[in-house]
Structure formats: C-alpha cells, structure tokens
Chain A
Amino acid sequence: MTKIEPRNPENNPIRIIERCRKEGRPVFIAGPMVRYSKLPFRSLVREYNTDLVYSPMILAREFVRNEFARLSDFTTNNYDTPLIVQVGTNNVTDLLRFVEMIHPFVDGIGINCGCPIKEQIREGIGAALMSEPDLVSDMVYAVKQKYGDKVCIETKIRIHPDLNETVKFVQKVEKAGVDFITVHGRTKTTRSSQPANFEAIKLMNESVSVPVIANGDCFSLNDAYEIVKKTKVDGVMAVRGILDNPALFAGYEKAPWGCIEKFWEYSTSYGLTYRLLQHHLSCMLDGRIPKELYKEMMDIKTLAQLIDFFDNNFILKRSNEEGFGTGIEIPFKTQRALHI
C-alpha cells in the first residue's frame, strides 16, 4: 500500500515565494475552481511552469464530520505538491479541526473569503467573510497560535466597494498572522465581464508587508507579467484562463495538443468523473475544432464513447507512444475536421 510521504519544507508556499523573488520572477499560481481543480488537473498544470496549485474549496464542516465527504472531496498522491487546500468555513472550531486533520497532507491552507455563490454566502462562507474581518482574524490567529510556522495560512479575498474597508481588512488579518494574501480585484457583485481593478490590488500590496498575490484577468503569460508590472505583487493567480489553457504559464497561447494528451493520461489513471473530464476538454478545445464536431463531443454520454470519439477524429497518443505529450497543433484525422 502506498503511503503518503512527509511534506518537503521547500514546497511551503512562503519558501516558493522567496525563491521566485530571488529568481526575479513572479510566482505562477493555479487558483481554486469549484469542481475543476481535482488531482488530474493539478498534476497537469504543474507540468507547465505552475509553481503553486490550489484544490477546489472543501467545506470544513463536511470534511470533519463525514468520511464520504473526505473521500469525494480530497484525493491526492506523493506528487501532488506544492498544494494549497482551500477551505470554506464560518467558524474557528471547524477550521481548527479541519487544519488538524489535513495539514500533514498539504503545503498550505487558504481560507476562502471570495466565493460569491449565494448558497455559500447564506452559510456565512466565502465572500460573506468580507463583512466579518474580526471572525477572519480570529480564524487566522487561532491557526497560527496553534501551529506557528508549521502551517502556512493564506486568505483569498475580494475588494469592497469602499477600498478603505479592504485596507483595514488586510491589515487586520496581517496582524493576526496570515502568511500571505491573495486579492481578487473585483467586489463580490462585480461581474467577471468587468475588468479587474489592479489599482486596488496595488493599494492592498502597499498596505501590508506580507506577500500579496493578484487574481483576475490573467489569460496569458504576457498578462501575468503585465499584472505584476501594474500591481508590484509577488505572484499572479490564473483561474478561468488556466482552465482553458493549462499551459498558460509556460507561454503557450492555447492549450497545446500534448497538454490534452497528458490530461487524458492523468484523468484515466487517477480517475475523474466523466462530466468533469468532458468539461475540461470542452474548455481546452472551444473555438478550435469545427462546431459540429464540438457539438458531437458535448452530446457524448460516457467516457468510453469519448475515448472512441477522440481516436476517430484525432491522433491521440498514449504515454507509451513516441511523441506523447509533445504535440502543439490539433492533429485532425479527417479533412472534414480541418474546416473550423
């Protein structure tokens, strides 16, 4: 039976931030995505210059009370590092219990203060915490009091309509001992079609001395460097951008074909629910294959049929074949497929 190895201190997020500072480059981060930041996707983005990877948000309340929730929410292995597990919580007790259980298996723990989903907000989780600076500080303080440097703790926040409120918020959690802060440059009601407010992120960075990571509107490596130029932060987190293009931080404009082959390999070996696999592939291929082929792919009901669909329409190499994982362009098998 495989045993999980102790964490490598070099993969502590703070060590990674320090290392990247020395190298004179930003930290590249794949942010947490509800449902999608599962083990196969995390393994994939690490192959393409992603320094730090988040798990999807895990609800502390469920994790500490329910074995089935633990099985379905958190699968890992010895290569699943550096990893920050994102937690959704609304009280100190659940958080401390969650940290006690999970910290030997992760490199850091991030408190979600940014999720705008109304079901979570009603529960006092996610962006609801932006109105509870004292509670967030208490949670951070409780973890740091108990574990000190043994546990790296981050808060991922959104901005308030009044930025003074956000400044007070970040200063408060910094005082409580947070290790670093990720700032999404939107309020909890700003639509993703509206541009992220990088001036606000810059202001937060100037207001604290702990490292700050910028989140919002990172769709390419060039965007990442532009965001750092505007905000002077230590790192950039991509979320929607890296879902469409997991090779974003390696400088690819679109997901290279080799990335799609690797995703198949990770998904079928580690195991991934069919609908999640289909969604990932649809994000990576949207606008890049003919519409009728795309529709055909979206209508497929099982993973076995999707394997046949790929083998019938493309050259999909397996890991034991020469050239696996190295292709860039989509290798269509038929002439029909050449017309997008």
Chain B
Amino acid sequence: MMETVHQSLVNQLSEITINKPTDIKLQPQNGEIMVKKGSGRTKIRKGQTDAEYGSQKQQFHMEGPMLNTKTWLEELDVSKIDPNIKSDRAKLESLTERLYFKRDYVKCLETTKFALELFKDLNHKKIKNEIDELEYLKSSCSKKIETVQ
C-alpha cells in the first residue's frame, strides 16, 4: 500500500498541478518554473540538474549541430539508415526526392527500391505517405527510364 502511494506521488511530482502557487518553493537555478494552464490552474515545469545539462552539452559539443550542405544527402551512408527511426527514414526519402529532382532517374529508382525493401517490415498504415511517395517514384522513374531507352 505504501509503495503504491509512494509511486503515485512520484508520478505526480513529474508535473505538479497546484492551486496555491505560493505554497511551493521553486528551484530557479535548475530552470524550474511555474506556468499557467489553459484551465487557469498552475503547473510546474521541471528543472534540469547540472548533471543532466552536462550530458546534453557534451553530446552537442561532440557532434555539433546538424550540417546540411548542398551534397550531404548524396553523401549519406544509406547502410546506416535505421528504418525504425523517423528522422532516418526522412533522410532516405529526401535523398530519393533530391535524385528525382536532379532527373537522375536510374539512381533514384535504385534508392527507392532500397528504401521500399528496408521499410517492408514496418507497419505501412503508420507510414502511408512515405510508402505512397516511394511507390510513385518507383513507377515514375521506371516509366521515364523506359521512355529514354
């Protein structure tokens, strides 16, 4: 019983909703702050400890911001694409679009087929737009290559 009550308190502490903001002491040095909800009640946004910030800072210091050069998409190592990560799928999709825009239909078709194969085990209902576009590219590239030949 005590454990259940304790867990419940822990859960509540992640985003406390209170009626009397003056009852709560904030820790502004951690970025903890009180904000208003649409209902007029007050909510505390959790702070960030020095250790948590330190690890974020270190990651950003090591890797830096995302650099998008004019050729970054075409230089992608597609073998490292994880189909379960949305941003990875988006990179591969952007690459197919870039190749299609450049009218490099042979390479676009090859990349599109690779993407369709990579995404085949994913839930297609959840990524319908992505699959629709890849199917469109596959069909359109094939037709354009045939026309040229």
Contacts and interface: CB of A to CB of B under 8 A. Distances in A.
Interface of A: 2-4, 39, 61, 64-68, 70-72, 74-78, 90-94, 97, 100-102, 105, 122-124, 264, 268-271, 273, 301-305, 307-308, 318
Interface of B: 28-31, 33, 35-38, 45, 47-48, 52-53, 56-57, 59-61, 64-73, 87, 90-91, 94, 96-98, 100-103, 129, 132-133, 136-137, 140
A198 B37 CA distance: 35
A308 B140 contact: yes
Contact of B64 (A64, A65, A105): A105
A157 B82 CA distance: 43
Contact of A71 (B35, B66, B136): B66
Contact of A97 (B31, B98, B100): B31
A75 B68 contact: yes
Contacts of A304: 96-97, 100, 133, 136-137, 140
A305 B66 contact: no
Given A70-B60, A304-B100, A2 B69 contact: yes
A92 B28 contact: yes
Contacts of B36: 122, 124
Contacts of B136: 302, 304-305
Contact of A93 (B30, B69, B132): B30
Contacts of A91: 28, 31, 33
A124 B68 CA distance: 33
Contacts of B91: 271
Given A100-B57, A264-B101, A269-B73, A302 B129 contact: yes
Given A93-B30, A124-B35, A301-B132, A269 B98 contact: yes
B37 A122 contact: yes
B29 A93 contact: yes
Given A61-B45, A93-B30, A307-B97, A271 B73 contact: yes
A90 B35 contact: yes
Contacts of B53: 64-65, 97
Query: By CB atoms of chain A within 10 A, which of B31, B73, B103 has the most?
Result: B31
Given A39-B68, A76-B67, A94-B31, A65 B87 contact: no
Contacts of A93: 28-31, 47-48
Contacts of B67: 2, 4, 75-78
A248 B49 CA distance: 46
A65 B65 contact: no
In the complex, which of the residues A39, A68, A101 has the most CB atoms of chain B within 10 Å of its own CB atom?
Answer: A101
